[in-house]
Structure 1
Amino acid sequence: MPTTQEIPPTSPIGRKTPRVDGPLKVTGTAQYTSDFHFPGMLYAVPVEATIANGKIQKLDTAAAEKMPGVRAIFHRENIGKIFRSVVGQGMEGICEERRPPFDDDVIRYYGQYVALAVADTFEMAKAAADAVRVTYTKDKPNVEHDLKADEDPDVIASTFGPQERLESQRGDADAAFASAPVKIDQTYVTPAETHNPIELQGTTAIWDGSMLTIYEESQGVFNLRSVLAQMFGLPKENVRVITKFVGSGFGSKLFPWTHCPLAVAAAKQLGKPVKLVLSRKMMFQSVGHRARTQQRVRLGATPDGKLVSLQHDYVYHRSMLDAHHEGCGEATAFHYSVPNLQVKFGRAKRNVGAAADMRGPGAVPGLFATESAMNELADQLKIDPVKLRTLNEPKIDEGLGIPFSSRHFLECLELGAKEFGWSKRNH
């Protein structure tokens, strides 16, 4: 087993490291996206759908348009053209909700933007947004928690490109499970989780002729530039994205959301800077979440704890139009030594907003399921769960058939067990 290495004298690990941004943050002088103000700036507030499935029948903006300080109420008929972006080379052109805002009158999730109020102050814009009246044709939304996989092809299109639904396979997992002396067959569910970092998402958009500058709390400024260039038919060099600080994101600020092109479109039409900052409520609805997952894990083992079969079948929910992939099987193929393995997934459309990457995307809920199954197997075998994992430690990455570049799983288990007194626990 590898031993803990000495930390080189030049390494920052285990030593105090000055944070150059620390004084700015603790004194309140760091400028986040919503802190920027410009002469003549207007404020925008989206109008959200109050149903999760249906169609807009009528949008009444008359009263809102007459309110003090209101500059415009934008909607599908007057927002102007916002093009649909496509994935480019590398990490360019990526967004989780591909449909441009106001692209049609169909409502696919609660909180979907249906209009945008722009006014001289935030309070005026909020009052105008609240005054917009929307009439819908309502249909029953599909928000069923039990996830049954939709009929999908063997290879699906995901946010980042094609994805095979049969992610990994070796040996004959079904036959090995059927003949295994000891079996575990359990289903684990993880709920949808929202990122909701302390800093609200928002955009401030400024046009200077054909040059666009936006202030955004982006975790991926170059990708955001490429998406906006496509959406507004601009050369990439005409788009400037400024991110000074990010007040946490947990993955929700990796890719642009629909409020961003709305602010850009409004600023273009009105010829003034426009700031749009989401409310805390909106942060639960329209800027991504970790998808709900339902994962069946089947383990077959010998009486002494050696795995002979591992099957990981998982389903996750997705929005009606989008293709985020919650890769719960990311670590399954190489985590343990097992001669017979199969990992495959399905997807279930629901009337929810687009899902998105969240810290440890896919692997976190996936490992929750497989590790829970390992714990249940250890309990059934009356084997120490740490010992069970040690028995099944692989010598190579069996999913790819190549050596690990580095692997410290056993070291973590043994050091952790020692530090918090695992051997002295109550069995």
Structure 2
Amino acid sequence: MFLRVTLEGTALVQLPTDSKVQPYKIFEVGGVKVAVIGLTNPEAPTLVSPSAFGTIKITDPVAAATQARADAKAQGAQVFVVLTHMGVTDKNPSTGAVRGPLISLANSLQGFDVILGDHTNVQYSGTIGGALVVENLSKGASYARVSLTYDPATRSVTKSDNTFVTPFASEVTPDPEVVQVLATYRTQLAAQLDGKIGVATDTFPRGNNIERLGEVALGDLIADAYRTRYSTQLAIVNSGAIRSSLPSSYAPQDKTLRRPAPGYQAGPPYDVVKGDIYSVLPFGNTVVTRSVTGAQLYAVLENSVSALPGSSGRFVQISGFSYTYDVSKPVGSRVVSVKLDSGAAIQKDSATYTLALPDFTNDGGDEYTMLADGQGVTREPDALVLLEYVQKLGTITPTVGQRINAIK
């Protein structure tokens, strides 16, 4: 995102970036001091590999932002901006009402002019508590141009506006030197990733948080790949690990392939290449196999649906079983029933089942602490497992098997 500050009688000035990690940074724009305060989302340590944060402790964001604002004001700051990795998790299409960590943060803060969010890939712009609150789409699909008007006479921001801008590559003239540098790498990547591995009869969708709200065909495919590879009874994959639709936006050099993107042959069906798989599963997670009790599985599923009706990367896609949940019930008691594909009920007891899952989840990521018990046999990279599964099937069709069922 770009923050621009408009001063009375001056031109727009784009703030420079700074690479140092500090609680805040003060930029002087046209004689006005603008404080930009960075906040990490509280659940960040659970969203990366456990222990990756080391000794870093994440504190309450409201208290941290309030203290940083006071410190920045003492140094002469006049405009206050929060930059945070928190987003909107639920947006009512009819009323436009929104909620989520970004909205909760904005409702809890005072004295800020702009709050810039992220993380959930939801486009939002609104005013909360006097602050302009903005979240933008991910992966450069659009960017937000925020303008503030500051009046030195009243020492306050008198106007704030946001415009969402969609960038188009066709409107940018490529730099010849950059193109030359990239050409070698593109050739190397094409040799490794452009090979066709299968055909998709249609697109396996991902995006707009659909995979974080319910069962999706791509989640079924990945979980099936895990379970088939290691002959386990069950398999799960956290939706936060799924980063692209299939076929993906990866651009093979071979334009005779059938792809959803412009410049290729039309489909469906579509040709799936190796690069698609690494776009879907880019994190380099490893599949782990282990046993779980019925009680552990219930705890896993309760964590999975705990953020609903909001979206969360902890929501798991599944294979080998199905379950029903009721979001109207309190968090922790939403799972109504669980059963194997055979129809046999899984009880909340000490009976054990074999399970395949990402090492991230098995290590307790996404708050799956019930699995962080030291169990698990390390297997192969998840992308390799999916790649070879698609290659073996040859043709894949996006279908949803009613594995995850909500009581309406």
TM-score (norm 2): 0.22
TM-score under structure 1 normalisation?
A: 0.21
RCO higher in structure (CA 8 A, sep ≥6): 1
State the structure with more CA Rg: 1
Q: Which has the higher strand share?
A: 2
